[in-house]
Structures are given as C-alpha cells and as structure tokens.
Amino acid sequence: MTLFQILMLGASAFFAFKVYEHIQTLKDPAASPQGDSSSSQFDPEALVQRADEEFEAGNMQKAFDLLKEANAKRAQDSDVLFKMGYILQQLDQNEEALGYYKEALEKDKENEYIHNAIASVYRAKGEFVSARMHLSASLAIDNQNAVTYYNYGNLLVDMKHLDEAKEMYKTALEINPDFKEAQEELEKLG
C-alpha cells in the first residue's frame, strides 16, 4: 500500500466513525452533544424561537418559513398559526393571513387576540359586519382590553358611527388612561 492509500483509508475510517457516532445520537438522545433532543434546532419550539428572532430583525419571510416548518412538525398549534397569519398580514397578504387566523381560531376559540386580528383583516377589506362580529366576540372574552375598544372605535369611525366610536375611545381611556392613540382619536372626533 502506498502512503496516499494509507492516508485515504485512515480518512475513510475516521468519516465512517463520525457517521456512526451521528447515527447513534439520533437513536439515543442522551448521547447527543446537546444533552437532549429538545434542544435540537429543528424541533418546533426552537424553530418558533428562531422565527421570533428573525421577525424582530425584520426578516419576515425567513420568520414565516421557520414558522411553516414548525407548523409542519407540530401541526395546528394556534400560536404558530396566529404568528403565521400576523406575518402575512404585515406583508399585505390579507387573504392568506385570514386563512391562518381562522385555523388558529378553530384551535383556540376563546383567544381575544385572534378575534382582534381577524377583525383587523375584515376591516381592511371593508367587511365591517364581520369585523364588528369578531370585535364583539373579543369583548365577550375580555371586556377590559383597551386595545379592543380602540380597534372597535376605529371600525365605527370607518362605518360613520361617530357617537359610538367616541364611546369606545372613552372606554379604552377608562381602562388605560395613558392610551395616547385613543386620546388622539377621541380628540379628532371632538
């Protein structure tokens, strides 16, 4: 055997051993260098965490892709579906966002934030009755959420129901006196 062949045999044996080691860690999570399989960068929780980081960094598409992968691994998690919808809404893909929000709502019917998000999409589409229905559902779940009253006031302004809008802004301010946006909208209405 030549020196080159001996080196190649040694390299092949080393790589074969590394492949064997890797396969063993897949079978036995305790043997993995990370300690357990829950810290894998490919488990749903880690993917969601990475998606949150990408979202914070402004990488919407990357965040969406990571959430999509997390959803494929742990299908129908309402929080993941909600985040996917929110990102799509930020990307002005309201129809797709609405689909994810509706899926999230199917899994968590008592989530006021999902109702608020759906109402926001319907409001943007000019479907005021549907938006109103979801804001009412949100208030039925939590009637102490100042943001819901604020959103409801904005919807009522769009619907030209100005007196009702004023009441919504006032209620938002009763709950949160420091709610600057509600105060500004109320002042616009006189």
pLDDT tens per residue across span 53-69: 999 999 999 999 999 99
Question: In angstroms, rounded to a whole number, what is the distance separating the alpha carbons of residues 88 and 166?
Answer: 31
- Residue 77: the pLDDT is 87
What is the arithmetic mean of pLDDT over 33-51? 69
- Helices first, then strands: H and E counts in the chain: 10, 0
* 34 or 111, which is more confident: 111
Where are the alpha helices (H) located in 91-145, listed in sequence order? 94-107, 112-125, 128-141
In this predicted structure, the answer to whether residue 31 has a pLDDT above a threshold of 50 is no
Average pLDDT of the chain, as a whole number: 85
DSSP state of 76: T
What is the arithmetic mean of pLDDT over 66-90? 90
Residue 136 in tokens: 């009412």
Instruction: Assess contact for 11 and 33: CB atoms under 8 A.
Output: no
pLDDT band for 18, please (50, 70, 90 cuts): low
pLDDT band for 35, please (50, 70, 90 cuts): very low
In this predicted structure, the answer to whether residue 16 has a pLDDT above a threshold of 70 is no
In sign, the C-alpha dihedral spanning 46, 52, 144, 132 is negative
| Angle formed at CA 170 by CA 168 and CA 176, multiple of 5 degrees | 105
Instruction: Assess contact for 115 and 138: CB atoms under 8 A.
Output: yes
- Residue 2: the pLDDT is 58
- Residue 43: the pLDDT is 84
Instruction: Assess contact for 171 and 149: CB atoms under 8 A.
Output: yes
- Residue 133: the pLDDT is 97
Q: What does pTM read for this prediction?
A: 0.74
| SS3 state of residue 3 | helix
Tokens 């006189």 belong to 190
Instruction: Assess contact for 89 and 117: CB atoms under 8 A.
Output: yes
